[in-house]
Amino acid sequence: MTRFVCLLLFVMLLSFTYAAITPTSPLSIGQTLNSSDGVYQLGFFSPNNTQNQYVGIWFKGIIPRVVVWVANREKPVTDSTANLAITSKGNLLLFSGKDGIVWSSGETFASNGSHAELSDSGSLIVVDKVSGRILWQSFDHLGDTLLHSSFLMYNLVTGEKRVVTSWKSYTDPSPGDFVGEITPQVPSQGFIMRGLRPYWRSGPWAKTRFTGVPLMDESYTSTFSLHQDVNGSGYLSFFQRRYKISRIILTPEGSMKIFRYNGTNWELYYEAPLANSCHIYGVCGPFGLCVSSVPPKCKCFKGFVPKSIDEWKRGNWTSGCVRRTELLCQGNSTGEDVNVFHPVANIKPPDSYEFANSLNAEECYQSCFHNCSCLAFSYISGIGCLVWNHDLMDAVQFSAGGELLSIRLARSELDGNKRKKTIVASTVSLTLFVILGLASFGFWRCRLEDNAHILKDAWRNELKPQDVPGLDFFEMNTIQTATNNFSLSNKLGQGGFGSVYKGKLQDGKEIAVKRLSSSSGQGKEEFMNEIVLISKLQHTNLVRILGCCIEGEERLLIYEFMLNKSLDTFIFGRFETKQQAWETWGENGGTDLLDQGVAYSCRPLEVERCVHIGLLCVQHQPADRPNTLELLSMLTTTSDLPSPKQPTFVAQTRNEEFMAMGLTTVSKMTDSVILGR
């Protein structure tokens, strides 16, 4: 029984919670030191349940344990007799029976003695015994975590710098690859560094927010406070009034996370940077603009082009962009070569900015305009005027929020537009016009799709079988397949009516497809008249119409295909050129064109009229040729005919050698084919 009581007292002694560490009462393994409010606790811990022991601070009573500071993060102890002690001069020492002094806080030179305690803010402090002055505190030697009363800082005079450093891994508290800090720029901004290279950037501070964090718009109630003074010092702290327990941690992967405790669980309030996103510093290189998306999309600012197109095609954008048109800048110039500024909205301000003393946005513009080294400017609420004299690096375009950045460009890049106000007004007008246009187009397309099949059936119904015997109605996909989707290699020619394509149906039959142009001026009635007329015209030397295709706005006529030769072979076969035919018609009305075997049965006036009509049908300009209805009227009446113009091109000798050499100026569909305009 006595042994049991002694053992119980020994265990209670080991687990005794200290109020302070004094020169006569060090902290041993198994003992803890609590803050007076019971929120924080200091003691020995092992992050991976091994023999490695560290002295650290964590939140008391929260499981799993969340460690916020480690003393000996680079050198664990493995001796069960290790303890944390304090000297009379205020120096904290971590002893190991095997290795001696493993860690030390450094001399503080307290003359009257001192002790160490854990403050309610979560900082281990060394306090002078008499004056109560804090001689040393763990907040001056941050680990990977910021608490409410701790802060990042810099001091240009003393060279002091306070940063957070990530753990190497979640089970290894030794310093990792990432460091979080604030810069001495005016205004300051937050950085996560990976070694010597920037990894993430917050954007410049604007009184209550970081301009590179879209969450922090002007309505945002900031949890941060950043102060810079004229003596070259800056301090960044954070405080969440609604949450007593919260923290900012820099993870081993380089992510800055803000957590807050709701009494049961940790809530992730904010995280940056996100992997594979525009958060990563300089992902689009100099003068590149990262459009906020996942995965990120890079583009060049207006007036710039990719420095290496091959690399950009491969998705490597880090080489950035270069200016397309070099600047011709003279600070007081007002001529044609004067530069202009192009505004870009929703921008995370690029890095390497400089603060300029300007009263308003106009002064900011003028100060940059009259300085040829100034490449861009931005007037930001809460900051004032920022200018850029170096490459624009790490610029991001958000879907909402951000700032307005104006970039200097050669005037030619904006096609003669004058001031940025004019550009903005034009852009707004154009945007409204496009929106209205798209809305109208969408309504039209909807109406068109609803009525397309009705129109198609209506046109078919108006073409009576007795009017067009043997006429087939083709489906559009059949014609597209036959012409290889109206390929240029299948194109036979083009006129005012539209284009003609050669095709082959699935049964091997060759066809010629006339695709009417929307500018041909031919309406529904003229189109149906042409179908009826041509279907009734039969001649051994005229191509025969096989059918038509009507789908939506498309109107197609399908003819049988006749290779190379047609009626003009017989009309103009005795002459080498149409020019000679013109001369013969001028001399005797064209009667010499008749075969003498049939000349006796023809009337000279009728022959002259037919040749006259033929010359009109082969006019060089489509507008000078009669359409189908006009041609029908000419052939069936004795009305006066317009005078034809002299032919302006020559039909080459029609032997196969010349045709194969491609020297003829006419297409495979010859001029005698009756194709209405």
Q: Which residues belong to the annotated binding site?
A: 514
Can you state the angle between helices 628-636 and 524-536, rounded to 10 degrees? 50
How far is the C-alpha of 474 from the C-alpha of 497, rounded, in Å? Answer: 20
How far is the C-alpha of 64 from the C-alpha of 42, rounded, in Å? Answer: 15
Can you state the angle between helices 604-617 and 628-636, rounded to 10 degrees? 170
How far is the C-alpha of 392 from the C-alpha of 407, rounded, in Å? Answer: 9
Contacts of 225 (CB under 8 A, 6+ apart): 235, 236, 237, 238, 239
Q: Reduced to 3 states, what is the DSSP secondary structure of residue 130?
A: coil
Tell how many helices (H) and how many strands (E) occur in the chain.
Answer: 12, 40
Distance of CA 179 to the CA centre of its chain: 30
Burial class (CB in 10 A: 0-12, 13-18, 19+), 82: buried
| Cα angle: 415, vertex 420, 426; to 5 degrees | 65
Cis amide bond preceding 295, omega within 30: yes
**Tokens 């082009």 belong to residue:** 305
Paired residues of 515 in beta bridges: 499, 556
Paired residues of 154 in beta bridges: 161, 234
Q: What is the CA radius of gyration of the chain?
A: 44
B/e letters for 581-604, b = 16+ CB within 10 Å, e = fewer, are bbebbeeebbbbbbeeeeeeeeee
Q: How many CB atoms lie within 10 A of CB 403?
A: 22
How far is the C-alpha of 30 from the C-alpha of 15, rounded, in Å? Answer: 5
* Strand residue runs (E) in 224-265: 224-228, 233-238, 246-250, 256-261
B/e letters for 244-254, b = 16+ CB within 10 Å, e = fewer, are ebbbbbbebeb
Q: How many residues does the chain have?
A: 677
Phi, psi of 595 (to 5 degrees): -70, 130
Q: What is the identity of the amino acid at 85?
A: A
How far is the C-alpha of 138 from the C-alpha of 117, rounded, in Å? Answer: 11
How far is the C-alpha of 210 from the C-alpha of 23, rounded, in Å? Answer: 46
How far is the C-alpha of 114 from the C-alpha of 112, rounded, in Å? Answer: 7
How far is the C-alpha of 533 from the C-alpha of 523, rounded, in Å? Answer: 15
Q: Which two tokens stand for residue 497?
A: 């009516």
Cα–Cα nearest to 349, from 298, 282, 403? 403
Q: Reduced to 3 states, what is the DSSP secondary structure of residue 661?
A: helix
How far is the C-alpha of 142 from the C-alpha of 161, rounded, in Å? Answer: 11
Count of alpha carbons within 13 Å of 189, Cβ hemisphere only?
23
Phi-psi region of 402 (alpha: psi -120 to 50; beta: other; left: phi over 0): left
Q: Report CA-CA distances (Å) from 586 to 543, 644, 645.
A: 29, 11, 11
Known binding positions for ATP: 514
